[in-house]
């Protein structure tokens, strides 16, 4: 009987950690501060309703790009002269809607056949920071100006890393970058990504229609679970963390709050989409605009999926350069945004 029960339990679907964490936080609020439980739920629901149009647009935009095979355009960034490759890789990396695990086999193949590390570095640094879904969510929550600034920062960071790598390509740091046996598998089970030509009228192909449906559903659930968690945390932060505490650490002007934003953002980043409402809460609590920008730049590049994609393929010294470019770019972006915001 015990074996049967264990087998039955093993077949039950596991609750995703994001949903479980949201439920645990709400349960803790209900237990420790019952009057605040319903306001936390309503805050989360209202925030999701406010963001719903942006979520839907982002979901369908990404599904369209995936179903049409638009990712094949990415390979063109790595053709031609090295300078052109860096610029194209940074621009497409900052705009492409493809996750880090999809990029792993593609980048592994490029490095194996001798693509310049400078262009790869440009793409690696820019790609985790912005995509159509991220831009839409960011604009809807933090404003169009912040979203545009972050997109420009993503491209600028790619250019910084790309041309920086090119300038020091002859040094020992960037020589022989690949691990002996780089991992080319990814969590998306992508074997030959970015091949072929895009088919914009994807609805005429049953397989592409199915890709559209699956991508929309998967991304919709992904965004919903992470944004729900983020809005729950935002409600708790606004209720229980004193504004003067945030303002004391991340407020003010100059280099210090920007540096602290980058240093806090690097290890604290949950998820690129979940970070947006959290930054919104921090800004309401007194976080400096420049610190908010450095937080999302440093955190986006150092988040687990992006960092693992780099670590899996290259030697530690290349990974250290990747992290160094990320921190430098985050500080520059934060100082620039703090000066104009």
Residues facing residue 178 across a β-bridge: 314
Question: What one-character DSSP code corresponds to residue 14?
Answer: P
Nearest to 301 by CA among 120, 42, 125: 125
pLDDT of res. 225: 87
Residue 21 burial (CB count, 10 A):
17
Q: What are phi and psi of 150, to 5 degrees?
A: -65, -40
> For the chain, how long is the longest CA-to-CA vector?
68
Residue 17 structure tokens: 């950690």
- In 3D space, the residue among 219, 73, 193, 49 whose CA is nearest the CA of residue 132 turns out to be 219
Distance of CA 82 to the CA centre of its chain: 26
Q: What is the pLDDT of residue 268?
A: 58
Q: pTM value?
A: 0.76
DSSP annotation string for 89-148 = HHHHHTT----HHHHHHHHHHHHHTT--HHHHHHHHHHTTT--HHHHHHHHHHH-HHHHH
**What's the rounded Cα separation, in Å, for the pair 202 and 193?**
17
CA dist 44 to 40, 208, 229, 237, 313, Å? 6, 35, 9, 12, 39
User: Closest by alpha carbon to 97, among 69, 66, 60?
Assistant: 66
Q: How far is CA 325 from the centre of its chain?
A: 17
Tokens representing 8 are: 């039955």
Instruction: Give yes or no for a contact between 230 and 275, defined as CB atoms under 8 angstroms apart.
Output: yes
Q: What's the CA gap between 87 and 77, in Å, rounded? A: 8
Cα distance between residue 94 and residue 131, in whole Å: 6
Q: Could you tell me the mean pLDDT of each successive run of 10 residues in the chain, 341 residues long?
A: 42 69 93 93 90 82 80 71 90 72 63 80 88 86 94 95 93 81 45 64 89 88 84 85 75 85 71 79 89 89 72 86 93 94 80
- Is 238:285 a contact under the CB 8 Å cutoff? yes
CA–CA distance, 112 with 106 (Å, rounded to integer): 10
Q: What is the pLDDT of residue 14?
A: 64
């Amino acid at each position: 009987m015990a074996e049967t029960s264990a087998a039955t339990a093993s077949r039950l679907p596991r609750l995703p950690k994001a949903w479980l964490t949201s439920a645990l936080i709400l349960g803790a609020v209900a237990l420790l501060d019952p009057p605040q439980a319903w306001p936390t739920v309503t805050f989360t629901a209202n925030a999701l309703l406010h963001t719903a149009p942006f979520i839907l647009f982002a979901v369908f935009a990404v599904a369209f790009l995936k179903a049409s095979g638009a990712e094949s355009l990415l390979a063109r960034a790595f053709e031609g002269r090295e300078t052109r490759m860096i610029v194209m890789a940074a621009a497409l990396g900052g705009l492409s809607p493809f996750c880090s695990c999809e990029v792993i086999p593609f980048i592994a193949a490029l490095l194996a056949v001798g693509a310049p590390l400078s262009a790869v570095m440009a793409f690696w640094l820019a790609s985790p920071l912005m995509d159509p879904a991220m831009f839409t969510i960011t604009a809807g929550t933090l404003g169009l100006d912040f979203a545009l600034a972050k997109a420009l920062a993503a491209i600028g960071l790619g250019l910084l890393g790309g041309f920086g790598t090119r300038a020091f390509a002859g040094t020992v740091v960037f020589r022989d970058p690949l691990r002996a046996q780089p991992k080319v598998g990814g969590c998306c089970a992508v074997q030959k990504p970015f091949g072929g030509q895009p088919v914009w009228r994807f609805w005429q192909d049953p397989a592409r229609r199915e890709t559209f449906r699956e991508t929309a559903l998967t991304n919709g659930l992904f965004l919903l679970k992470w944004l729900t968690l983020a809005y729950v945390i935002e409600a708790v932060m606004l209720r229980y963390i004193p504004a003067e505490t945030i303002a004391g650490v991340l407020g003010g002007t100059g280099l210090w709050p920007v540096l602290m934003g980058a240093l806090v953002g690097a290890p604290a980043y949950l998820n690129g989409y979940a970070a947006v409402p959290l930054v919104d809460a921090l800004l309401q609590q007194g976080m400096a605009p420049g610190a908010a920008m450095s937080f999302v730049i440093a955190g986006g590049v150092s988040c687990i999926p992006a960092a693992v994609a780099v670590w899996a393929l290259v030697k530690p010294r290349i990974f250290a350069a990747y992290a160094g470019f990320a921190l430098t770019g985050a500080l520059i972006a934060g100082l620039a945004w703090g000066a104009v915001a």
